[in-house]
Amino acid sequence: MAFLNVMFFPLSAGSSNEAPPTIVYHLSSYNTDAEAGDPVTLRCAADGIPTPLIYWQRTGGASSIIRNYGATKSGNEIVFDAVTAEDAGEYICFAENSMGRALWRVQLTVRHLPIVRIYPFQPRQKLGCKLRLVCLITANPAVTETGCIWSSNKTGTITSATPGTKIQYLNAGTTRQLVLDRDQIQSTDFWQKFTCTATNTLGTASTSVVLTESATEVLLVNGRHACDSTPQRMTSWATCISMVLLLKLTVL
């Protein structure tokens, strides 16, 4: 309910003709649901004596930056001509005067087509070694297991039934991962285009990468060796690679 979104912080006793800020509920936005491309305006109204200063900050989502405005947006409105998936998150309105401060939280949810990324985005590997491709899918509504596939321009749809191949589907809320593992790279695999395709109720999106040959071993995206079948503890350098990738998967 709306009153749960409001917090008040008194600053001083003040005089009898002064009053701390209070949020005007019926003139302020509640949690908002939109589709990508829709125009959206988030509003916040407050009363108080002296007249409160109103500004916005973003505390949840892909970034702390409010698109087109920066870290802080002054005024009682945030206007998006066309919202994107990256705009989704929590926005907080602050109303302040010499008597105190009030907060009003608004959660913006954006429904959008799948956003598909593949890591590594320029895969290279040595002949005879393993290959791992991670397809990261962000979508709202989320993509189901049957709604995402790997395919190749040489062999068509790739499944776990494909010789030397394993497919893993990982669920992480509105984010999904479809992991493709190949046991041993053959010469015919080079210059093959691998495509990850994802579908939700709003439509379909895909992205592709091309595998090229490396003269030396390239570590897998999880930091493990690709040319040694014996499980090994990751080196500190490999651990750093994995941490950087995880950060990319989380932020992007």
- The CATH code of the domain that includes 62 is 2.60.40.10
For the chain, the average pLDDT equals 87
pLDDT (0 to 100) of residue 5: 55
* Residue 150 shares a structural domain with residue 191: yes
Higher pLDDT, 17 or 34: 34
* Residue 192 shares a structural domain with residue 86: no
* Residue 138 shares a structural domain with residue 224: yes
pLDDT (0 to 100) of residue 10: 58
pLDDT (0 to 100) of residue 247: 45
Rounded distance between C-alpha atoms, residue 55 and residue 95, angstroms:
7
pLDDT in tens, 65-100: 999 999 999 999 999 999 999 999 999 999 999 999
* Residue 124 shares a structural domain with residue 95: no
Our count of domains for the chain comes to: 2
Poorest-pLDDT segment among 52-56, 59-63, 220-224: 59-63
The tokens 């405005």 sit on which residue?
Answer: 69
Of 88, 111, 134, the residue at which a domain comes to its end is 111
* Residue 146 shares a structural domain with residue 247: yes
The tokens 């080196």 sit on which residue?
Answer: 235
Of 86, 111, 136, the residue at which a domain comes to its end is 111
Between vectors from CA 14 to CA 10 and to CA 15, what angle results, nearest 5°?
145
* Residue 92 shares a structural domain with residue 126: no
* Residue 145 shares a structural domain with residue 99: no
Neighbours of 180 (CB within 10 A): 21
Of 93, 111, 129, the residue at which a domain comes to its end is 111
Q: Which of the four pLDDT bands, split at 50, 70 and 90, describes residue 17?
A: confident
pLDDT (0 to 100) of residue 50: 97
One-letter amino acid for residue 243 of the chain:
M
Give the burial class of 177: count Cβ atoms within 10 A of its Cβ; 0-12 exposed, 13-18 middle, 19 or more buried.
Answer: middle
Each residue of 33-61: b (16+ CB within 10 Å) or e?
ebebeeebebbbbbebeeebebbbbbeeb
Rounded distance between C-alpha atoms, residue 195 and residue 192, angstroms:
10
* Residue 247 shares a structural domain with residue 128: yes
* Residue 82 shares a structural domain with residue 130: no
Range of the domain at 101: 2-111
* Residue 44 shares a structural domain with residue 153: no
* Residue 106 shares a structural domain with residue 128: no
Structural contact between residues 152 and 124, judged by C-beta atoms closer than 8 angstroms: no
pLDDT in tens, 110-130: 999 999 999 999 999 999 999
Tell me whether strands 148-152 and 7-10 are parallel, antiparallel or unpaired.
unpaired
* Residue 246 shares a structural domain with residue 125: yes
| Alpha-carbon dihedral sign for residues 108, 114, 119, 122 | negative
Q: Measuring CA to CA, which residue among 117, 120, 123 is closest to residue 212?
A: 123
pLDDT in tens, 141-174: 999 999 999 999 999 999 999 999 999 999 987 7
Q: How many angstroms separate the first and last alpha carbons of the chain?
A: 31
